[in-house]
Structure 1
Amino acid sequence: MQPVFKRHGTAFLLLLPTLVILIFFLYLPTIQTFIMSLYQVGFLGLSKMFVGVENYQIIFTEPEYRDIMVNTLVFVLGSVSLSMALGLAFAVLANEKVTGARYYRLLLIWPYALPPAVAGVIFLFLFSAQVGIINYFLGLIFGITPDWLADPELAMTVVILSTVWKNVGYNVVFYLAALQNLPGDVLEAATIDGATGWQRFWRITFPLLSPMTFFLLIMNTIAAFFDVFAFIDLITKGGPSNGTTVFIYAIYRDGFEYFKSGLAAAQSVFLFLLVVVLTVLKFRLQKKVHYAN
């Protein structure tokens, strides 16, 4: 096969703009973040003192940051599991051949197109203790009007629900595409053999969806660490009592409100390494996830 460019210099010149952008806006900031995580940085970076791994020790030993780890774990487990379960359920229903199926699919997917800030504002008003429609119906039916944003557990529930509502369409799209590409003869054979709909789903459909499920599990988990900032900032501001503060919000708080740039950088590095581990895990294990047992 003949090369497109006879001279390597031509190819390099075409790649140069992209390389410049990557170097100055991705690689250099990443390296600077690693370096800054080893320093205690003063206000606006006016002073720096080398502290080694002290910032990392704070993350893993201080009670406040251990609580943040727990909050992050609760949020990731809750949002990812609920979003994937609902995404699969909605995709199965949307895959049925019914009149107006394309409109149902559109209604399931459109929340994903909304900006996170818009979704956050919607849920802020929905779960408002004074004017929220959720409390209106709860009071009408059950006679209770909980203050959702004043209780740490309820506030975390609101954040999880808002994230799930925003992201479930992403899972629907991928699950729906996978369902439409399943081998129909296998499902037909199971129906002829007398398998019920529930048996066909758990013994045939769900195992055949294992590659897509694994892919979505990794992608949803990575997204859960980073895409929640707008929801927390608009709905709870990390409260009450830091009950909804997760790592991505703590990075913003420490870096731009408390001006602890070194500590914020250490948390950024921790999240970066976590994503690297998940990415490596995806590439290592995806070969073991296959359609046929």
Structure 2
Amino acid sequence: MTRQLAPHPSTKPTKPGPAAAPRRRRWTQRTRRDFFVFLALALPNLVLIAVFTYRPLISNIYYSTLDWTLGSPSATVVGINNYVTFFTSDDASKVLGTTAIFTVVTVGGSMILGLLIALALNAKVRGTTFARSAVFAPYVLSGVGVGLVWLFIFDPGYGVLAWLLRGIGQQSPQWINDPQLSLVMVILVYVWKNLGYCAVVYLAGLQSLPQDVMEAASLDGANGFRRFITMSLPLLSPTTFFLLITSLLSSLQAFDLIRIMTPLGTGTSTLIYEAYLQAFGAFNRAGYSAAISVILFAILLVITVFQLRFVERKVHYS
């Protein structure tokens, strides 16, 4: 009988350790090449953005701390006094209220009417191509030209609308001189000009909806209205979210129509137009105008962050 000897402690087999991973070189020739290609493509755009966007923004914030008359070679640093003057003035609530009314009505009107027109243009009938072009055409026209044409229509003395009202024995409202009616006039024209944009974007969203799902719902007995409420609208939420952001930013910066149709800002002094009147009107208060512009920028920033942070949660991406 043979006896098996135990192995000596010094001769115990050892497990091979994990092989050391080769150290990766961070700046390889390909990495350097890709980096320089990125710089060549992105650097010109970054320089242009810095020079024409961020530099004027920083300069405007600095100007808002000055008591400066436009054209004057000297200015006095007043800190936040321009902001305090605006928010404590009687015109602050009026300007902010006009801005809120104009923005809410134009954005809501453009999106609702645009969706209804998109539903009509989505029908498979003859003439829809011409109708789509006709609806979208006002959006690409110059705001100055559109304002001049509609100013002729609304003019209470010799306008087309006044002529039609006189034909039925009625007097034309004072659209231009009445502050409330002038705001209504500008809102109507702005909605008319921009609803084509909303209609075309909504039309693209409607045409991208999954048709198999719509056909399945139709076979299950869902009528057109129920399919639209329960299926089309939720699936259109990315389109609605995109239009909400772009339309809000556009409405808050609307200037050309207001400038042409109401040069004195009678009842239509939104934030951006009030900044223009303070700087280039009879006041020449460049520092005060810069403060109003910074307030408008802050409102735009808050609205955009709020939409991206909270409203996007309700968007259903397929």
Q: What TM-score do you get using the length of structure 1 for normalisation? A: 0.90
The alpha-carbon deviation at position 73 of structure 1 amounts to 0.7
The alpha-carbon deviation at position 5 of structure 1 amounts to 5.4
* Corresponding position of 1:174: 201
Q: 1:128 aligns with which of 155, 178, 189?
A: 155
Asked whether the equivalents of residues 238 and 246 of structure 1 are also in contact (C-alpha less than 8 Å), the reply is no
Distance 1:52 1:32 in 2: 14
Paired-residue identity, %? 37
Q: 1:251 aligns with which of 275, 278, 283?
A: 275
* Corresponding position of 1:137: 164
The answer for unaligned runs of 5 or more in structure 1 is none
Q: Does 1:236 align with 2:291?
A: no
Distance change (3 Å), C-alpha of 1:106 and 1:34: same
* Corresponding position of 1:261: 286
Distance 1:180 1:17 in 2: 37
Distance 1:97 1:7 in 2: 49
Asked whether the equivalents of residues 103 and 251 of structure 2 are also in contact (C-alpha less than 8 Å), the reply is yes
Distance change (3 Å), C-alpha of 1:93 and 1:6: same
Distance 1:119 1:25 in 2: 28
Asked whether the equivalents of residues 214 and 289 of structure 1 are also in contact (C-alpha less than 8 Å), the reply is no
Distance 2:298 2:206 in 1: 34
Q: 2:303 aligns with which of 262, 278, 284?
A: 278
Distance change (3 Å), C-alpha of 1:195 and 1:260: same
Letter in 1 for 2:310: L
The alpha-carbon deviation at position 197 of structure 1 amounts to 2.4
Distance change (3 Å), C-alpha of 1:163 and 1:3: farther
Mean CA deviation greater in 261-270 or 185-194: 185-194
Asked whether the equivalents of residues 109 and 169 of structure 1 are also in contact (C-alpha less than 8 Å), the reply is yes
Q: 1:69 aligns with which of 96, 102, 105?
A: 96
Distance change (3 Å), C-alpha of 1:199 and 1:16: closer
Mean CA deviation greater in 39-48 or 262-271: 39-48
CA deviation vs aligned residue, 1:129-157 (integer Å, no higher than 9, x gap): 12222233334347242121121111101
Distance 2:221 2:36 in 1: 66
Mean CA deviation greater in 135-144 or 114-123: 135-144
The alpha-carbon deviation at position 239 of structure 1 amounts to 3.6
The alpha-carbon deviation at position 229 of structure 1 amounts to 1.0
The answer for unaligned runs of 5 or more in structure 2 is 1-27
Distance 2:227 2:41 in 1: 53
Aligned residues: 290
Q: 1:59 aligns with which of 50, 75, 86?
A: 86
Distance 1:178 1:187 in 2: 14
Q: What TM-score do you get using the length of structure 2 for normalisation? A: 0.84
CA deviation vs aligned residue, 1:91-127 (integer Å, no higher than 9, x gap): 0000000012111111111111101111111111111
Mean CA deviation greater in 91-100 or 230-239: 230-239
Mean CA deviation greater in 1-10 or 112-121: 1-10
**Cα RMSD, aligned residues only:** 2.3
More helix by share: 1
* 3-state SS of 1:150 partner: coil
Q: 1:21 aligns with which of 16, 40, 48?
A: 48
* 3-state SS of 2:214 partner: helix
Distance 1:29 1:286 in 2: 30
Q: Which has the larger radius of gyration?
A: 2
Q: Does 1:214 align with 2:241?
A: yes
